[in-house]
């Protein structure tokens, strides 16, 4: 569990120094810092020794104003650079910057150690005065859950294992959970979830978790494709290598659900996860098949590698069969979204301008950047093939993230927000090691009071 260190009077003082403010270095340490060439660059650390060689104090650079616009959680990099020990922030940060650094320190302390021991222990931080330590620990724990789920290979994160993870989370928070599995998906009218997952040795399933008895109702729907071969439209090896992360939407909504439940937010929560493997076998669904969805809309399958929107469609239709104030879907859905905004931004779609503003404002507060893309109505005809109501993979290659979002919107009739996330950090950055990463969850959490009028 990732937590702050308990209060400790012997904790090593840590001073955060702006690159343009060398006078911020405490006078007793200034000469040593200048001798060592410390200039306050973002994330650069310097230990100040006692005569006996132990650490008396430490400095960490906060960079310049320009570098801070380019680097999130820069100060938190110190957790992996300082000598092991317990540190307490002594000067240099206030307000949102202090909260960002405290959370970043927790997230920098994350290790995925299921298969190998961590190489080193991070330095620990005493919870700074003025931050909500319990809230930040809950957020960090939710983020760690998301990362663990994404980082785990499909050999240990099949649809059954994803169900087990959801059950463990439900048990922890006293949530209720129901799961529809295998051919029961057909008898209970989830035909597209069944079609996508039926070729796998592990049966497909729909995970349905609920929590809370009072307050506004929100439904989170997460794409749980535990591995995506592409189906009969098989991916090349270079594109298949990261497909353990194709359940990143499910991992993210479970991490967000942990945050909500751990904080005891005054709302009613539902989490729906269609969990499948898109595999190849004699009974795999085929290009040109026409599927009839739960909602009754027919879908022509023009690419079996556009399977995520199929399983989400049945889950979204199910979500909208009960009264809910808001439905949010999260999915590693399209390469087009990554081409548009890269791996660091979380693109989202929302019809409600107030929802979009609330998310963008919250994202800025919590250093979880998002970017709004449009539900562009003139592109609706691109997802209408003529032979069926909808096309799961329009030809032409234009606006792939938008047409996927428009496809999903056809299955909703409630206020709706859709996130098309990447779920993977390709290179290590402060507070975000290489590998699975949560995207958009902290922005949603911070925006919930505005989104739901809490």
Look up residue 330 and give its two tokens. 């999260």
List pLDDT tens digits, range 124-183.
999 999 999 999 999 999 999 999 999 999 999 999 999 999 999 999 999 999 999 999
Catalytic residues: 235, 309
Sorted by where each begins, the domain ranges of the chain are 12-122, 136-452
Full 3-state SS string of the chain: CCCCECCCCCCEEEEEEECCCHHHCCHHHHHHHHHCCCCCCCCCEEEEECCCCCEEEEEEEEECHHHHHHCCCCHHHHHHHCCCCEEEEEECCCHHHHHHHHHHHHHHCCCCCCCCCCCCCCCEEECCCCCCHHHHHHHHHHHHHHHHHHHCCCCCCCHHHHHHHHHHHHHHHCCEEEEEECCHHHHCCCHHHHHHHCCCCCCCEEEEEEECCCCCEEEEEECEEEEECCCCCCCCHHHHCCHHHHHHHHHHHHHHHHHHHHCCCCCEEEEEEEEEEECCCCCCCCCCCEEECCCCCEEECCCCCCCHHHHHHHHHHHHCCCCCCEEEEEECCCHHHHHHHCCCCEEEEECCHHHHHHHHHHHHHHCCCEEEECCCHHHHHHHCCCCCCEECCCCCCCCHHHHHHHHHHCCCCCCEEEEECCCEECCCECCECCEECCCCHHHHHHHHHHHHCC
Provide the residue-wise pLDDT of the chain in tens; the chain has 454 residues: 799 999 999 999 999 999 988 888 999 999 999 999 999 999 999 999 999 999 999 999 999 999 999 999 999 999 999 999 999 999 889 999 999 999 999 999 999 999 998 878 899 999 999 999 999 999 999 999 999 999 999 999 999 999 999 999 999 999 999 999 999 999 999 999 999 999 999 999 999 999 999 999 999 999 999 999 999 999 999 999 999 999 999 999 999 999 999 999 999 999 999 999 999 999 999 999 999 999 999 999 999 999 999 999 999 999 999 999 999 999 999 999 999 999 999 999 999 999 999 999 999 999 999 999 999 999 999 999 989 999 999 998 899 999 999 999 999 999 999 999 999 999 999 999 999 999 999 999 999 999 999 9
Give the span between the Cα atoms of 435 and 147, in whole angstroms: 8
* Contact predicate 351/359, CB 8 Å: no
Q: What's the fold here for domain 136-452?
A: Aminopeptidase (3.40.630)
The CA–CA distances, whole Å, from 71 to 110, 161, 378 equal 19, 35, 37
Look up residue 165 and give its two tokens. 């993870």
* Contact predicate 248/421, CB 8 Å: yes
**What is the pLDDT at residue 402?**
98
**What is the pLDDT at residue 91?**
82
Q: What's the fold here for domain 12-122?
A: 3.40.220
Sign of the CA dihedral with 389 first, then 207, 107, and 129 last? positive
Look up residue 380 and give its two tokens. 């609706």
Q: Do domains 12-122 and 136-452 have the same CATH topology?
A: no
**What is the pLDDT at residue 15?**
96
* Contact predicate 43/74, CB 8 Å: yes
Judged by phi (left if over 0) then psi (alpha if -120 to 50, else beta), residue 321 lies in alpha
Look up residue 101 and give its two tokens. 């650094």
* Contact predicate 438/259, CB 8 Å: no
């Amino acid at each position: 569990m990732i937590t702050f260190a308990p209060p400790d009077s012997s904790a090593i003082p840590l001073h955060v120094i702006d690159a343009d403010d060398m006078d911020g270095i405490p006078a007793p340490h200034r000469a040593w810092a200048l001798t060592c060439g410390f200039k306050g660059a973002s994330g650069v650390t310097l230990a100040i020794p006692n005569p006996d060689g132990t650490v008396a104090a430490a400095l960490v650079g906060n960079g310049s104003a320009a570098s801070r616009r380019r680097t999130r959680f820069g100060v938190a990099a110190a957790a992996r650079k300082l000598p092991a020990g317990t540190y307490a922030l002594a000067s240099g940060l206030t307000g949102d910057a202090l909260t960002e650094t405290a959370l970043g320190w927790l997230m920098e302390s994350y290790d995925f150690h299921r298969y190998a021991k961590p190489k080193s222990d991070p330095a620990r931080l005493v919870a700074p005065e003025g931050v909500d330590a319990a809230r930040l620990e809950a957020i960090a724990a939710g983020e760690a859950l998301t990362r663990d789920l994404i980082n785990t290979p499909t050999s240990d994160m099949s649809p059954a294992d994803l169900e087990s993870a959801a059950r463990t989370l439900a048990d922890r928070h006293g949530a209720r959970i129901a799961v529809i599995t295998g051919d029961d998906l057909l008898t209970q009218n989830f035909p597209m979830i069944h079609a996508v997952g039926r070729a796998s040795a592990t049966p497909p399933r729909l995970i349905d978790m609920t929590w809370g008895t009072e307050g506004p109702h929100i439904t989170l729907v997460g794409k749980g494709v535990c591995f995506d071969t592409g189906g009969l439209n098989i991916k090349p090896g270079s594109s298949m290598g990261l497909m353990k992360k194709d359940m990143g939407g499910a991992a993210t909504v479970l991490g967000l659900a942990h945050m909500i439940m751990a904080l005891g937010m005054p709302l009613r929560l539902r989490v729906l996860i269609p969990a499948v493997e898109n595999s190849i076998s004699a009974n795999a669904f085929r290009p040109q098949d026409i599927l009839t969805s739960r909602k009754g809309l027919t879908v022509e399958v023009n690419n079996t590698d556009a399977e995520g929107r199929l399983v989400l469609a049945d889950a979204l239709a199910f979500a909208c069969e009960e009264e809910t104030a808001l439905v949010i879907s999260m999915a590693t859905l399209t390469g087009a979204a990554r081409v548009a905004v890269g791996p660091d931004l979380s693109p989202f779609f929302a019809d409600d301008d107030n929802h979009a503003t609330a998310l963008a404002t919250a994202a800025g507060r919590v250093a979880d950047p998002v970017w709004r893309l449009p539900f562009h109505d003139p592109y609706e005809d691109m997802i209408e093939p003529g032979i069926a109501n909808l096309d799961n993979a329009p030809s032409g290659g234009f606006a792939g993230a938008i047409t996927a979002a428009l496809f999903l919107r056809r299955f909703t009739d409630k206020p709706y927000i859709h996130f098309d996330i990447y779920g993977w950090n390709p290179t290590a950055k402060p507070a975000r090691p290489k590998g699975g990463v949560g995207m958009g969850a902290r922005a949603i959490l911070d925006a919930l009071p505005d989104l739901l009028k809490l």
